[in-house]
Structures are given as C-alpha cells and as structure tokens.
Structure 1
C-alpha cells in the first residue's frame, strides 16, 4: 500500500481556546528583522531566587510589586501550575504596568520535570478536544525558572532575551529566521517566535502568498508560498485513505461502503455530500463510526475518494452558502469538508479536524469576506469565492 503525502513545513496555529490567561495581546513589534536572527544562542538565565528572576525580567519588561501569596488577585483564574507540581518551588506575580497586564513566575528545581508537566498538560487538553491548546504558548523558560506574560507586547519584549518559548503542541512549527532549540523533553521545542491569533505577535518572514479572499487578489498573507500549495495529502483508494487517517485521527474501526450505510445521517451528524455521488464528483465513499445500535448514531465521519475535485468543491460551496443564508453561521451539526489532492473527509468534530490539519488536509471555506490571520495556511480553492485553510474562527 502506498500513500502519497506531501508534508509541509508551516506554522499551523489554531484559533480556539489557548492558555486562558497567557495568550491575549496588543499590537506587536513592527515587521523588521527579529532580534537574534543568525546569532548563536546565549546560555539560559539561572537566577538564584525569585527576586533575581524579577531583576532579569525587568531588563526587558515592566515588572513591579512582586507578590507570592496564593490568593493574589493578579493571578489568573486558571493558573498554569502551582507550588509542589512540576518541581515548582515558588510562584510569584508582578504587575506589568507598561502593557497593563501581569507576569507570572515559577521557580523550578528541575526544568526537565517542569517541561514534562507542561507537555502533559498540553496533551491532556488536546485529548479532551481542545486541539489548539498551547499553539500560542506564552511559557518562557530559562534554566531554573519560567514566566508567562499575559500581554503579547510583553511576550515580544521577552523574546529578545535569552528566555525561550516552550511549545509542545505537535502542530507547531518555527518559521524560518527564528531561533529553534531542542527542549528537554521530546515533542516540545524552544523558540523566540511569539504566535498570536490576531497577527500581533512575531512577524512571519516567509514568502507571502496572494490572499484569494481579498478583492482583486492584491493582499498577501505572511507565511504562505509565493504560488501553489504547501502540499495536500493524496490516496488512490479508500484503503489508502483509511490507512492515512485511521486510527489516530478518524476512528474507522467500523467502516462501511454500503450505499444505505453511507447515506445515513442523524440529528447530530449531517454530511456534506448528499444524494447521487456521481453529481458530486465522488469516485468512492465510505462512512466510519456507529450509525445505530443500543444508542443513537455517534462518531460519524465520511471518507471520499474524488474523481473531480472542482465539481465536489462547487457543490459543497452551494451547500455551504445555503446553510449560511439564514443567520450567517454554519449549523453545529453540519460537517465540514476537508480536502486533499484527490480525497476528502467530512466531519463536524473540531478535534478530528485538528488532527486532519496535521495530515495537511485543508477545509473548504466559502464564507463571504473570510480571511485568516498570519501564520495560518490560506490557499486557493478550485472554485471562485472559496479558500482552503486550517484556520477556524
């Protein structure tokens, strides 16, 4: 069995919930060459106390009135961790007066244990369905301490220090031109790239691509290729498509190609493709999940091998526009169409879509005026008025 996949090196920054108190931001630094590009990495700072850690941070950002009380009102409601976990020996918070935020400090006796604890937190959040958790990480680490600023401008300032941002979401990739270092635990990376959902973080200096959603195509999105696609997956049969997505992304333990099974839909699951497959450009189609039984249908997802991708996208655009007509929003039960070169997957599960983005699938979006922030993939679809993207509002 041969699966043709083109894996892209891109920044896939999802847009859903991230660190509740550590990933908001104001407009960031201007698009000039970021500090430190091309220079060797300096040794990680290792202050002997919380007071020394504060002094180090004060070289780069405002940090006043350090407090260490557990009930300090400046601490976020959903704090990253507490004393006694992840080897944290002391925690503090100071006021970032300049940017009207806070900076939280964690002194750690074992930085590898701290990073492992953060990685596990990210993995747990992803497993619970929050696939974008930690993409816009604000966890800056040194040799024996970590800080989490609440403001993007402060994060940009700290990125010029020897502290590094710890990111453990497996979909994250460091853009060209930024420092990329090995973390102390596998599956995580250290960098000086500050991501953000609103484009106010670090500038992305990779070659821009025309934004097909912009009028006249004159606009450009940072982080995209000058032309063409960063790569989409391919499979030449349902067997190859199943092997590509099962079991880590789409559970196809129960899979059927029977016409009556494929045509199943429920109050919770509405497929994109409905009716005669030939009119949708579909060559082969299967359904994965449990259509019926002791409880109502669940985990329904559809796999398509496509003979005419333009026809499929044209029909899907019409269906999407009909759904948007009433209130400008897609129904929660409506599946989204994620496409590859000659394959597609239909799902209404955000966590499954997140997994498919890792496999380089992109979703078809035909919302009028839709655009994506810097750092997300945004490519031309085969029909006018739609784009292919991994960004979701």
Structure 2
C-alpha cells in the first residue's frame, strides 16, 4: 500500500466547513476577523485617532469613510445596544481601542461594529495573540475566514460577508493572522504591522458569498510553480491500497469504524444511509466492495459506510457524476441521506457522515464534486477529476 499522508491546516480547515460551518462568522458575528488596508501599514505612531477638542470624533470620521462603500446608519456607542455581538473579542480600553460603536448595515441586513484606535500596531498584535490562543485551544481554523477590516486608525467587523467584500473593494483591507492563509491568484497580500499577519483584498468565506476564487482546478500531473503549502505538482497526493484488507487498515480506526465489515452484504442500505453505487459494482469500475457498520438486526441498519477497491476510476467517477447531477436536478440540493464519494488513486469510500469525511480528508481522500459552477475558497485543495465538469476537493459548503 502506498500512501502519502500529510496533515495540513487546509484539511483542518475543512472541519470548519463541515459541522461548525461556521462559528458563523468566526467572531464576525462576534468580530473574529480584523481587516487592514494600505493605510494600516503606516507606522502606528503616524495615525492620530484621538480627536482634538471640539473636532469630530474618530468614530464619526470612521463612519463617514465606511459610508462611502457600505450602509452604516444609526451609530450608537451605548455598550448595551442590542445590535452588539453577545461575545466580542475586545472593547474600549483594550487592544488600543479608544472608541467603539455599532451601526446598522441596512443594505446588507446586518450590523457593523466600528473600533477607533490611535495605535493600529497594538490592535494587530492583540488580534494575533487572540487568534493564536483560540487555535491553541483547539479552534484550528480560527482567523482563516477573517472579517476584520482595517483602515488607518479604525477597524470594522461587518456581520455580512457581502458587506466585507464591498469594503475591501475600497482602500480598506482584511487582517488575517492564520499561518495557512494564502489568497488565490489575482488578489493582493502585503505585510501587516506585526509578523505573522497580512493585509489583503480577498474575503475568505464558507457561505459562498466571499470574494471569487478565480483559480482553476490544478492538474496533479502537471508541473508548475510551487504553491504555498503544496508541492510543485500542485497535489498532496491521494491514498491507495491493494486490497480491501489494506483499505480497512488505512481508514480504521482513524476515520471509518470497520469493526463490523461485510462483503456479502455490500448492497445493504437503509432509509438513513444511501450508497453512491447502485446495482452491480463491476459496472461502476469497482472490483472489491464491502460495507462497514451495524447491519439490520433488532434495529434497522445504521452507521453504514462503504469501502471500494477500484479497477477503473474513470468509470466510477463518470457514473458517480451522473448520479450526482440526477440528485441535484429536482431541487438543486443533494439528498441529506445520500453518501458522498471520497476517492483516492484506486480506492474510494462512500459516506454521508461529515465527521468521517473530515477524517478522510486528513488521509488525503478528496470528495468528487460535480455541482455546476462549484469553486472552493482559498486554503482548500481543488484538483481536476478524471471526468469533465467535476473537481476533487476537501471543501464542503
């Protein structure tokens, strides 16, 4: 068995796209992502946020600037304003913040929290420290989907992704302090005021409303310039196994529980567990197939996952594409109980469990996605499949 297992933060980030598909806006709903623009790269001492006597407040100036690009109405500095997030990452007197307010994003149907700071470097350092602490506590994707947007002497955290995109189309920039974050080609990335953070105009998001990823799927067999976190071929490789026994050893117990495995009952299914392969598996290019889980007894069958050793991967992906498009045809959504096809070079796993798929992503399995127009945010794998119109990825909405 040949397997190249390299755990990446991109795979860990895939967990965010699964079960928590959010922390919804990862402190955006609780401000999680400060952004910073070119103005924020000026030396911290150069930005004078404090207001001179009788002059307009720094918060009011920030609101006027934001209003050039987004809706920011009814500004309030009341600490008990119900529009404020229930759990914020900072407040007045911390992180160099001198004023804080919240305004209504009436166009985007959300809110924007605005922080004024005369010391942008102090704010960025505090946000970096906060992000590292959250990741150290187990939130490995924290900060990857930053929605913290900074200017020269203020920071805004919109609750709506589309509003964040509108703001970075200006001179404001997203502040990101995640070690595995790299924007796709076509977007800018520059140094922030502290090491380990960057400023950019790409809004990374799992809700499909972030900045467009204009990169095309990479062909793992094609040599090309090395990508951050990727080898020169553009692929981390896919797993393989020579038999069902080897495949079981590979995935059990790291992801799929194969304590109970049966080849005779491989065609079993239940109302809650629908396999990808229907009918004779040989017609799908599969030479060996088994089912893991609890087959029907006192209870109906449950925890079902299927293992496949594949002799013709192109045929398997072609048949799986047709089945996926047929499922999407009715309402544009995949059946919740239907399994997703996770593929390696000559093996596959069929599962409808997000947690199992997360484990498989760490083993370098990728999901065959044939949804028209699908693309993945930066930081996730996106590679060509063997059939036109599909990609292999570790990102799920």
Write out per-residue CA displacement over residues 23-55 of structure 1, whole angstroms, 9 at most, x where no aligned residue. 8xxxxxxxxxx976xxx9666789999989848
Q: CA deviation at 1:20?
A: 7.8
Counterparts in 2 of 1:182 and 1:349: CA distance versus 1, 3 Å: farther
Correspondence 1:137 to 2:146: yes
Please give the alpha-carbon distance, in whole angstroms, between the structure 1 residues aligned to 2:193 and 2:351: 35
Counterparts in 2 of 1:274 and 1:135: CA distance versus 1, 3 Å: farther
Aligned to 2:268: 264
Please give the alpha-carbon distance, in whole angstroms, between the structure 1 residues aligned to 2:50 and 2:249: 51
Please give the alpha-carbon distance, in whole angstroms, between the structure 2 residues aligned to 1:325 and 1:201: 26
Please give the alpha-carbon distance, in whole angstroms, between the structure 1 residues aligned to 2:76 and 2:284: 62
Aligned to 2:113: 104
Please give the alpha-carbon distance, in whole angstroms, between the structure 2 residues aligned to 1:380 and 1:251: 25
Aligned to 1:305, what secondary structure does the other structure show?
Answer: strand
Aligned to 2:349: 345
Correspondence 1:92 to 2:93: no
Q: CA deviation at 1:357?
A: 4.4
* 1:1-393 superposed matches below 5 A: 2-4=2-4, 14=17, 16-17=21-22, 18-19=24-25, 22=28, 54=59, 61-62=66-67, 67-76=76-85, 79-80=87-88, 92-95=100-103, 102-104=111-113, 111=127, 114-116=130-132, 118-119=134-135, 123=139, 135-139=144-148, 147-150=156-159, 151-153=163-165, 155-156=167-168, 160=172, 164-167=175-178, 173-175=182-184, 178-179=189-190, 191-192=199-200, 193-196=202-205, 201=210, 208=216, 230-237=235-242, 238=244, 241-242=247-248, 245=251, 247=253, 250-252=255-257, 254-291=258-295, 296-324=300-328, 326-357=330-361, 359-367=363-371, 369-372=372-375, 375=378, 379-390=383-394, 392=396
Aligned to 2:324, what secondary structure does the other structure show?
Answer: helix
Contact 1:61 / 1:157 at 8 angstroms: preserved in 2? no
Write out per-residue CA displacement over residues 330-361 of structure 1, whole angstroms, 9 at most, x where no aligned residue. 32111011223222221112344355445553
Please give the alpha-carbon distance, in whole angstroms, between the structure 1 residues aligned to 2:42 and 2:249: 44
Write out per-residue CA displacement over residues 126-159 of structure 1, whole angstroms, 9 at most, x where no aligned residue. 9xxxxx88653213589xx974223214551688
Contact 1:152 / 1:200 at 8 angstroms: preserved in 2? no
Please give the alpha-carbon distance, in whole angstroms, between the structure 2 residues aligned to 1:153 and 1:325: 31
Please give the alpha-carbon distance, in whole angstroms, between the structure 1 residues aligned to 2:50 and 2:250: 48
Counterparts in 2 of 1:118 and 1:104: CA distance versus 1, 3 Å: farther
Contact 1:47 / 1:53 at 8 angstroms: preserved in 2? no
Aligned to 1:260, what secondary structure does the other structure show?
Answer: coil
Counterparts in 2 of 1:116 and 1:4: CA distance versus 1, 3 Å: closer
Counterparts in 2 of 1:65 and 1:35: CA distance versus 1, 3 Å: closer
Please give the alpha-carbon distance, in whole angstroms, between the structure 2 residues aligned to 1:235 and 1:70: 56
Q: CA deviation at 1:308?
A: 0.8
Please give the alpha-carbon distance, in whole angstroms, between the structure 2 residues aligned to 1:355 and 1:180: 34
Counterparts in 2 of 1:386 and 1:68: CA distance versus 1, 3 Å: same
Taking structure 2 as the reference length, the TM-score comes to 0.61
Counterparts in 2 of 1:202 and 1:370: CA distance versus 1, 3 Å: closer
User: Unpaired segments of 5 or more residues in structure 1?
Assistant: 24-33, 127-131, 212-222
Contact 1:87 / 1:113 at 8 angstroms: preserved in 2? no
Contact 1:366 / 1:387 at 8 angstroms: preserved in 2? yes
Please give the alpha-carbon distance, in whole angstroms, between the structure 1 residues aligned to 2:4 and 2:267: 28
Q: CA deviation at 1:243?
A: 5.9
Please give the alpha-carbon distance, in whole angstroms, between the structure 1 residues aligned to 2:171 and 2:306: 43
